[in-house]
Amino acid sequence: MTRRTLIILAGLGSAGLLMAAFGFQYLAGLLPCAMCLWQRWPHVAAIALGALGAAIPSAFIAFLGGLTMLGNAGIALYHTGVERDWWEGPTSCTSGGGQSVTDMSIEELLNPNTGPQLVLCDQVSWEMFGLSMASWNGIACVVLALIWFAAANRRRTAG
């Protein structure tokens, strides 16, 4: 495969993962927690790098895409650790700290702006084969990083 093809493949991989995240959110009704939202931004960057790399298939762009996915895999690993109680997460989105639902007033509970804050980062809302969405995202990001780095290591050819 050419560098351009690998870059496009990696960019489309991030687009597919981002579309899946939106599908879980808007079609399945699984609202994202704050850390889930953090994991979306590197995919947005990778999609942009994929579009740029399709036009200008440089090793530098591919290398940046690989770094972006490694960063996202790190966020996913951190999120997985919070879900599994391997370490503490941000107090703003875990049940171990911050304001609890039981501490909220009726007005706060009924306020539509408060709703998404109730999605806790340390609670698994969906899993498959014992792995959460954050875990699957981390695995996918490592695979995408490998594709990006393979693109960066391709010799310059016509494509």
Written as one string, the DSSP assignment of 13-81 is HHHHHHHHHHHHHHTS-----HHHHHHHHHHHHHHHHHHHHHHS--HHHHHHHHHHHHHHHHHHHHHHH
- Which CATH number goes with the domain that contains 112? 1.20.1550.10
Q: Is residue 13 part of a domain?
A: yes
Least confident of 31-35, 46-50, 98-102, 119-123: 98-102
Mean pLDDT for 26-37 is 88
Q: Is residue 97 part of a domain?
A: no
Q: Is the pLDDT of residue 101 over 70?
A: no
Extract the runs of DSSP E, i.e. beta strands, from 56-135. 127-128, 131-132
Q: Is residue 96 part of a domain?
A: no
Range of the domain at 67: 3-87+105-153
Asked whether 148 and 1 are in contact (CB, 8 A), the reply is: no
Q: Is residue 93 part of a domain?
A: no
What does the alpha-carbon distance between residue 143 and residue 134 come to, in Å, rounded to a whole number?
A: 14
- The neighbour count for residue 107, using CB atoms within 10 Å, is 8
Q: What is the pLDDT of residue 88?
A: 84
Average pLDDT across the chain, whole number: 86
Q: What are phi and psi of 93, to 5 degrees?
A: -140, 25
Where do we find the tokens 């304001």?
99
Q: What is the pLDDT of residue 124?
A: 82
| Identity of the amino acid at 119 | V
Q: Is residue 92 part of a domain?
A: no
**Is the Cα dihedral 86, 90, 96, 101 positive or negative?**
negative
Q: Which helix (H) or strand (E) holds 24?
A: helix 3-26
Q: Is residue 81 part of a domain?
A: yes
Q: How many domains does the chain have?
A: 1
Two tokens, residue 30: 């699984």
Q: Is residue 95 part of a domain?
A: no
Q: Is residue 94 part of a domain?
A: no
Two tokens, residue 120: 């806790």
Q: What is the pLDDT of residues 109-159, one digit of tens each?
A: 566 565 445 678 788 888 889 889 999 999 999 999 999 999 999 976 544
